[in-house]
Structure 1
Amino acid sequence: MDENATPTPELDAAQHDYLQILDAIQSGALRLLAGFPAQPSGLRIQVGEVTVEAQWPQGPGEAAVSAGAAPAPAPATDAATEVPVTDPAIRAPSVGVFYRSPQPGAEPFVAVGDRVSPGRQVGIVEAMKLMIPVTAEAGGVVTAILKQDGDSVQFDEPLFSYSPE
């Protein structure tokens, strides 16, 4: 197969169908979780041939119960991640792994202080081998980077904060 060949319409349609299934799973999971009085220990959703399963610890001490486990270190505080509540955020379009650069070793799409315009790509979320662009919905100046390369992110989780223009 020619490496320089453009994607076929069938591949684009398949990716579109996959994204629709992923959206259905996400919205279904959010609806189900909203209906529980407390967070469940696990959730499994199947749409067609796609199954997504998530499990959560049951109590605050459960993670440290295993024999010889050291307590988790306190999260490092970084001035860049302390964001005023008034700043709007650019959010994750999907559950997945967040990347700030188009490829390993490349410069990040944006840095603190960069001006972004609506539609500008600022990152990527990888979900099941699909690279989903993260774009700015409004113009402004990036004030903080809230997630780093390789961080797992949830749907609608803030990735960057910005000051609107």
Structure 2
Amino acid sequence: MFTFDEICQLIRLVAETRVGGIELERDGAKLRIDGVQPAAAPPMVGAPLVSEQAVQALRAAVTPPLAPAAQPSPAKEQPEEEAASEDNLHFVTSPIVGTFYRAPNPDADPYVQPGDRVRKGQVLCIVEAMKLMNEIESDVDGVIVKIYPENAQPVEFGERLFAIRVD
């Protein structure tokens, strides 16, 4: 058996020497004292790195500041007549997180400009995600009223890309 004083001495010894730990056995009693963990300790397989509660808390903390930036106030950014007829607008949103591009390459003309008439299925922009170029198509016929993100800017899932006045 180990005495209380012996255990305390062993704990101090492990702490002072910064060893990974020790295991001792005496008279059928086993004692294991873990010390300082190595800096590059591998993560445990299958163990979550972050708790679900921490993820939800981070989402709650981050989401409110992003919401106003993703959806600007119609009264400040749109002419009065446009704001009044918002019922007639269709919003094309980003289906993925990525980088918004208005043209197929930097030297090309943009796919669409405000005031352009578009048809259902027409390519409006590209959203690049993980080196894949995803063409975003119009799902309605109408006229482009507003393009929300600037070229080469990051966009979030569900963020407004275009406002289209439906025919």
Q: TM class by shorter-chain length? A: 0.5 to 0.7
Q: 2:138 aligns with which of 98, 121, 136?
A: 136
1:15-164 equivalences under 5 Å are 40-41=57-58, 81-82=77-78, 84=83, 85-86=86-87, 87-164=89-166
Name the aligned partner's letter for residue 148 of structure 1.
Answer: E
Give the number of equivalent residue pairs: 101
Partners in 2 of 1:81 and 1:100 — Cα distance? 20
2:100 partner amino acid: F
**Runs ≥4 residues deviating over 4 A:** 56-60
Please list every run of 5 or more consecutive structure 2 residues that lacks an aligned counterpart in the other structure. 1-51, 66-72
SS in 1 for 2:127: strand
Deviation at 1:97, TM superposition (A): 0.5
The structure having more radius of gyration, on CA atoms, is: 2
Quick check: 81-90 or 149-158, which moved more?
81-90
Among all aligned residue pairs of Structure 1 and Structure 2, give the percentage whose two residues are the same amino acid.
35
The alignment partner of 1:132 has SS state of: strand
